[in-house]
Amino acid sequence: MSRIPVGHVEVEFFKVGQCSHPGCVAERGCGLAPKSFPNYCTLIRHPLYGNTLFDTGYHPAFFEQTRRFPERLYALTTPVSFDQTLRQQLEARGISGDSIKRIILSHFHADHIAGCIDFNPDEYVAEEWGYQRLMALSRFGQVRKGFIKGLLPADFERRAAWVKRYPQKLSGILGVKLKHDFDCCMLFKDGSAYLVSLPGHAAGHMGVLVRTVQGWIFLTGDAFWTKGNLIGRKPSYLARLIMDEVRPFMVTLDALSYLYAQHSDLVRLIGSHDEAAFQP
C-alpha cells in the first residue's frame, strides 16, 4: 500500500496481485525473460462523495472463472499470483469494504475487474460502448480481448453509470497547451476529479485525473506499462496482439509522453502496472 498526501481528497494505492510475461512485451529491449508486473488499484476518498475505487485487481474468483476452456487460455498466457484481495487490504487499514460508494473500471480486462465480487457499490462507472462491444463477442472472442464475463456481478448493468461522452479537454483543465489533447468529463462536481478517455489499449479504456494539494495525479490505467514507455522505449510488436486498436494506443502513448516530458511538475502520471511509480 502506498499513500500520497492530499488536501480534501485522499488517494491511496494498493498492490493487488501480479502477473508475469516476457519483459520485452511491455518495453522493447527488456528481453524474453519473464518479468513480474504488479497490479495497482486506487482508493479515492472524498469528504462529500465518499469512497471510490479505481479498478479492483485480482481475486480468487479469477482462478474459479478460468478453470474451463476458453477462459483457461487467459490464465495460461498470463500466470497470476497474489497475497491479499483489495477488500482484505482495505479492511486491514480500517476501511470497510461496505463504505465503497462507486467503482470506476478503467476497462474490462480481468486483472481490473476480478475484485468487483467483494463489493456492493451504488454504481459502476464505465464506458458503455466498450462494454457493448465486448458483450457482442463470443466467449472465445471475449477471452481474446482479455474479458471474462463471469467476473462481473450479475446486476452490473443495473448499477452501471455509463460514460457516454467527454465534453471537456484536459488542456483547459490543466491550463496548458498539449501536443495531443485528451477528452474528459467531470467525475465530482467540485472539479476535484475527472474521467479521461485513453483509447487504444482496450475498448472503452479511461483514466482518472485527481486534484491533490501537491498537484494533479493522473491515473492512466494501462495506457502505458513502464516509465520507459514514456521516454521512447515503446512496447514491442508482440504487445499489439493484446491491444484493442494499435494506432489509437500509440497516439495516446505519444500524448502521455509529451505530458510527462513537458508538464511532470504539474501532473504526476501513474500507470496501473508501473512499479517504478511506487518506489522511493
pLDDT 10s digits, 189-242: 999 999 999 999 999 999 999 998 777 999 999 999 888 889 987 776 666 777
Name the burial class of residue 49, with classes exposed (0-12), middle (13-18) and buried (19+) by CB atoms within 10 angstroms of its CB: middle
CA torsion through residues 57, 38, 195, 54, sign: positive
Would you state the cell numbers that stand for residue 123, as one nine-digit string? 454504481
Place of cell 476497462: 107
Query: Is the confidence at residue 85, as pLDDT, over 50?
Result: yes
Sheet bearing 168-169, strands edge to edge: 168-169, 183-186, 193-197, 206-212, 215-219, 267-270
Instruction: List alpha helices for the chain, DSSP H.
Output: 23-26, 60-65, 72-77, 86-92, 110-113, 128-135, 139-144, 156-159, 170-174, 246-263
Lowest mean per-residue pLDDT among 26-35, 48-57, 86-95: 26-35
Q: Which option is the CATH number for 2-278: 3.60.20.30, 3.60.15.10, 3.80.10.10, 3.10.150.10?
A: 3.60.15.10
**Of 64, 77, 95, 43, nearest to 208 (Cα)?**
43
CA distance 165 to 127: 9
Q: What phi, psi does 61 have (nearest 5°)?
A: -60, -30
Mean pLDDT on 144-156: 96
**Of 23, 40, 18, nearest to 233 (Cα)?**
23
What are the domain boundaries of the chain?
A: 2-278
- Mention every residue, 6+ apart, whose C-beta is less than 8 A from residue 71: 65, 139, 143, 148, 150
pTM of the shown model: 0.93
pLDDT at 197: 98
b vs e for 142-154, b when ≥16 Cβ sit within 10 Å of the residue's Cβ? bbebbbbbbbbbe
